[in-house]
Structure 1
Amino acid sequence: MPTLLRVDSSPLYGASVSRQLTETFEATWKATHPGGQVIVRDLTATVMWPITAEWVGAAFTPEDQRNAEQVELLKLSDSLIAELEKADEFVFGVPMHNFGVPASLKLWIDQVVRVGKTFSYGEGGPKGLLAGKKATFLIATGGVYDAGTAMASLNFVEPYLRSVFGFIGVTDTTFLTAGGTAALRYGKDRATFLQPHLEAVQLHAQSA
């Protein structure tokens, strides 16, 4: 039975463009995969803290040597990684915040990019341990940062996510961006703006 992990990081909920895109992806994916399972992780509703020296110490302590406090420190990380391991495919809703990813998504990344769990070190250097999975990133940006535009150099979302997920072995990635969402604050019709983006998401989800 195929499993999809849906991860949302926008704090805007009903007003969020990226959440509307992931909702559409999920609905289309379900229709295409009868009996498939969906795991939903809402990062805005997940309490996460920046990693600490104690967390790092726990992560580098062999599992059979961790004390109760270290086990507790890694509990959330273990749960988030288990979701990644269980899923065959991921879809992420990512609004651009200050040219990068939201703080909640960065905190999540710090919890799941973990030696011995999602990557390892060997004689040939680091090796991603989540190979064979694929990820779709549905990005919403206030401005337009497409390649070739004046603002393209300020888009740190796609290169960062491509690098991070490639590092943990997820190289089958697709990026779909709804650029120019700021126009919605100045009267542009939401349905008209979203229509081509929703259609692109549906088309991709059908083939995913």
Structure 2
Amino acid sequence: MQLLHIDSSITGGQSVSRQLTADIVRAWVHSHPGTQVETLDLTVDAPAHFTMDAMAPRTGQSEGFSAAQLRENAVSERLVRQFLAADVVVIGAPLYNFSIPTQLKAWIDRLAQPGRTFRYTADGPQGLAGGKTIIIASSRGGVYSTSEAGRALEHQESYLQTIFGFFGVTDVRFVRAEGVAMGDAAKQAALTAAVTEIAQATQRQAANQASARQVA
């Protein structure tokens, strides 16, 4: 089993989402011996923001494209191959300004490739990256999940659920710690609650993974 561990928080050792992803990966490996882990720190190795150069080429094509287009396509190809090869993806996704870090958005933009992670059919779009589990470590300074007003402001978990669903991933799990900037007691309560969520997220085997292994 291949696990891709992704962090996107800019706060380094102070990051709650990084603490959560480390705990998730450790718990997953403990529950699933033999898992191979690959890491991607998007604050260190972030793709450039999406441009026409990044959009232009297609896999296997080179004739007529500029050096910049080929260079950007190579970055996208590396990232989408890495994502598609993973059975499990653990993503640290802090809430920044009601959304996700720009580094994480840039990574997702490189994954959104027609014919690779999705395609359009006569019946509408179809995801092509199903059969994997995605566990998202969601950290928030405030509390957004307990009120209609808070949920209306949140474009972090809702966006990630939507985009990975568009890619065909039906098993998206969230480990959430919110209110972590509302004092020490609130932060500790959030982290304590996350421990239970981590156990649930890492011990529950995805039905689609079991089916995939049976087919293989």
Q: TM-score with structure 2 length normalisation?
A: 0.86
Partner of 1:95: 94
Q: CA deviation at 1:200?
A: 2.0
Give 5+ residue unaligned stretches, structure 2.
206-216
Q: CA deviation at 1:192?
A: 5.5
Partner of 1:200: 197
Map of 1:166-205 to 2, 5 A cutoff?
166-183=165-182, 186-188=183-185, 193-205=190-202
Distance 1:124 1:198 in 2: 41
* Contact 1:39/1:83 (<8 A) preserved: no
Instruction: Say which SS state the counterpart of residue 96 (structure 2) adopts.
Output: coil
Partner of 1:10: 9
* Contact 1:24/1:202 (<8 A) preserved: no
Partner of 1:151: 150
Superposed CA deviations along residues 118-168 of structure 1, whole A, max 9, x for unmatched, are: 111222222111011121111000100014354221111111111111111
Partner of 2:39: 40
Distance 1:192 1:152 in 2: 20
The 1:47–1:162 alpha-carbon spacing in structure 2 relative to 1, beyond 3 Å, is closer
Bigger drift between 81-90 and 141-150 goes to 141-150
Matched, 1:125 2:124: yes
Instruction: Say which SS state the counterpart of residue 64 (structure 1) adopts.
Output: coil
Distance 1:138 1:156 in 2: 15
Distance 1:171 1:192 in 2: 29
Partner of 2:56: 57
**Kindly, what percent of the aligned residue pairs are identical?**
35
Superposed CA deviations along residues 71-117 of structure 1, whole A, max 9, x for unmatched, are: 32211111111111111111111100000011111111111111122
Bigger drift between 96-105 and 64-73 goes to 64-73
Partner of 2:111: 112
Instruction: Say which SS state the counterpart of residue 35 (structure 1) adopts.
Output: coil
**Letter in structure 2 aligned against 1:207:** R
Distance 2:110 2:26 in 1: 28
Distance 2:24 2:160 in 1: 19
Distance 1:122 1:175 in 2: 30
Looking at both structures, which has the greater relative contact order when contacts are Cα pairs under 8 Å and sequence separation is at least 6?
Answer: 1
Q: CA deviation at 1:54?
A: 2.1
What is the number of equivalent residue pairs in this alignment? 203
Give 5+ residue unaligned stretches, structure 1.
none
Distance 1:6 1:176 in 2: 14
